Amino acid sequence: MNRDLSSSTFPPGFLWGTAIGAHQSEGNNVASDWWYRENLAGSPVAERCGDAIDSYHRWPEDLDLAAQAGFTDYRFGIEWSRIEPADGAISRAAVAHYRRIVQGAVARGLRPMVTLHHFTLPLWFAATGGWQHQDAVERFLNYVDALAPVLEAGVVRVETINEPNIVAVLPLLTSGTSLAEGLPVPDNALTQIMIAVHRATVERLRVRHPRLEVGWGVSVQDYQAEPGAEAATEAYCEPRDHVFLRASKGDDFVGIHTYTRGRIGADGLPLPAPDNEQTQTGWEFYPAALGGAVRRASRVVDGIPLIVTENGVATSDDARRIRYTTQALYALRAAMDDGADVRGYFHWSLLDNWEWGHWGPTFGLIAVDRTTFARTPKPSLAWLGALAPRQP
């Protein structure tokens, strides 16, 4: 690509955002299944979330930093266990809290995208069977209905489920599982439940909040076929993300979450990661994965617009973060030039936060002191925000 990376690299109106997860940033989600798991005696979770980075109280500062940097969009999560801490007991205070975040984003010129489910469940729901419960879809819809005051406060887009393909594989993961080693085949029953929950939620939102754009965010890594392994790679991808991408038919967008690549051999199994540069999570440092993942997803979804709702790198070296993101954005633009219909880019993450059992990996554009919760913007925040496409 011959163009320089600048605010004109992407078209006017292109969504330029950052992302953050509820449980990973808020702190003290004491009614959730993850909180329970983290605080068990002998818990397999290495490090507890605890206060996280106290975004539950410090969200105005977080929004200020994102808006002042130049971003136009903000993706954040709503914690179901706060909205409904007990079965059927809706917390009006929690609803009002998330409504204030939406209003605060709008007041700062940020278009809100909310994620309704990001791995955590209310403990009462998990204890009665979770997604396997016969009334799971209706229980989730009851929660979605309770969010009406939040959704009507200025939300523009809704991501129903964060990485449903990872949700469907969570029971099979171990603490040592890595994207570099490939993922187990998602549980088929959970796969079908995730699709049913998503489709029911899309239908409910379109009836009750027709102005919203609705989709979900699928983990789509750049799975590359070794010579002669094209059919095997298709078979590898089918249960891991293709089935979820195809289930997006009729949605307003599909969110794509990409971090690295995987090489697939003729036997259909992932090859060992090459002895290349790695990130703090042990994944190969491979920024071009974003272009490859977007090309493949674009082919599978057949005409549904894509939004990159997660892309980033775990590193303590911010210059390395800028290098990774620069190369990823070049790869994204090249995929768009080749015909991929991509409507936006959300960087993961706005702040360093708890990464599902570990505090070590730092994905954020902003550092956080875990004792004082002081926010310190990294150079990457201003750099990436300045690339926001000019708005029409």
Q: How does DSSP assign 309-377, residue by residue?
A: EEE----S-HHHHHHHHHHHHHHHHHHHHTT--EEEEEEE-SB----SS-S-----SEEE-TTT--EEE
Burial of 236 (0-12, 13-18, 19+ CB in 10 A): buried
Domains in the chain, start-ordered, CATH in brackets?
Answer: 15-385 (3.20.20.80)
Q: What was the pLDDT predicted at 1?
A: 42
Q: Cis bond leading into 349, ω under 30°?
A: yes
Which residue carries 């709503």 as its tokens? 78
Q: What was the pLDDT predicted at 3?
A: 61
Listed in sequence order, the DSSP H helices in 174-261 are 188-208, 230-237, 243-246
Phi then psi for 187, rounded to 5 degrees? -60, 125
What is the DSSP code (8-state) at residue 241?
I
- Nearest Cα neighbor of 153 from 197, 193, 211 is 211
Rounded alpha-carbon distances, angstroms, from residue 226 to 223, 243, 268, 282, 295: 10, 22, 10, 22, 17
Side-chain half-sphere exposure of 53, counting CA atoms within 13 A: 26
Q: What was the pLDDT predicted at 301?
A: 97
381/1: higher pLDDT: 381
Q: Could you report the per-residue pLDDT of 86-95, keeping only the tens digit for each?
A: 999 999 999 9
Q: What was the pLDDT predicted at 2?
A: 46
pTM for this prediction: 0.97
Over pLDDT 70: what percentage of the chain?
97
Q: Could you report the per-residue pLDDT of 250-291, keeping only the tens digit for each?
A: 999 999 999 999 999 999 999 988 889 999 999 999 999 999
